[in-house]
Amino acid sequence: MNELQYATLADGGRLAYRDAGTGPLVVLLHGGFLDHRQWNAQLATLPARYRVIAPDARGHGDSSNAAAAFRHTDDIAALIRHLDAGPAVLIGVSMGAATATDTALEHPELVRALVVSGAGTSEPEFVDGWTRPTLEKVWPALFSGDLKGALTIWNEFTSGPDRALADLDPAVPALIDEMTTKTWLKHTADEQDWSVHAEDTWARAAKLTIPVLAVIGGSDSDDHRHNAERLADSVAGGRKATVEDAAHYPNMEHPGEFDAIVTEFIDALA
């Protein structure tokens, strides 16, 4: 796999990223607390068809932490411009999906199409009674120094409300634990969260004219599925596909099925 490269941002921050393949530009955006390795399977396959960029978001993986207010969408736009590339097909899972949609709203000239999973925009709606309470249990464990307990809750969150961790290929939670631990250890409990996001995203997203595909993990929480579905249903011609036996990270649980869905979508773009 290609070595990590680094782009220096205008504020002095650095984004780590992998760059592989040639052809239409595809940017892979990982979920919160993870890093570009969430896309290991896709980095082994998609570069045969496309130029694939997989960055670590600010404050994640090998990218620098923030020291002032920033937006993930602006970082992705800066990276695409740094590469003198685009417009890109943005493929995002969870936080990465929110960043993808925000980038289409804030930097439309850089985005050719969107593929989202586990989120719709950076303003999610949590109403199912499981998603938010489960996520919020992570912080007390983490901030008390109980990293093992926090990882246990995080794995519950990412494997979905109706499955046990044992239902997953052990390699998936093992890599999630590795990525999450690396990102968590970059930060301190009293560190300020400098990230901000776009505003009025749902109303603006309904006016998108680019192709949008939502890839739904059939075993993901109701809220995660509904947020992605809401985005696809909001835009003219939005499409949906389901990976039935997968939760929050369908690209990791069933990479072959995920790849088939997204390559069919990308290859059909005008």
User: What is the CATH classification number for the domain harbouring 59?
Assistant: 3.40.50.1820
In a domain, 242, yes or no: yes
In a domain, 170, yes or no: no
In a domain, 165, yes or no: no
8 A C-beta contact, residue 21 and residue 50: yes
Residues 6+ apart with CB under 8 A from 113: 89, 90, 210, 211, 212, 213, 265, 266, 269
How many structural domains comprise the chain?
Answer: 1
pTM: 0.97
Q: Round to whole Å and give the CA distance between 21 and 42.
A: 12
Residues 6+ apart with CB under 8 A from 13: 58, 63, 64, 66, 67, 70, 75
Q: Round to whole Å and give the CA distance between 16 and 18.
A: 7
pLDDT tens, N- to C-terminus, the chain (270 residues):
578 999 999 999 999 999 999 999 999 999 999 999 999 999 999 999 999 999 999 999 999 999 999 999 999 999 999 999 989 999 999 999 999 999 999 999 999 999 999 999 999 999 999 999 999 999 888 888 899 999 999 999 999 999 988 889 999 999 999 999 999 999 988 889 999 999 999 999 999 999 999 999 999 999 999 999 999 999 999 999 999 999 999 999 999 999 999 999 999 997
CA-based torsion, 62, 65, 71, 77: positive or negative: negative
In a domain, 162, yes or no: no
Q: Could you list the residue range(s) of the whole structural domain that residue 216 is in?
A: 5-127+195-267
In a domain, 251, yes or no: yes
The end-to-end CA distance of the chain, in Å, is 30
In a domain, 102, yes or no: yes
In a domain, 88, yes or no: yes
In a domain, 171, yes or no: no
8 A C-beta contact, residue 167 and residue 159: yes
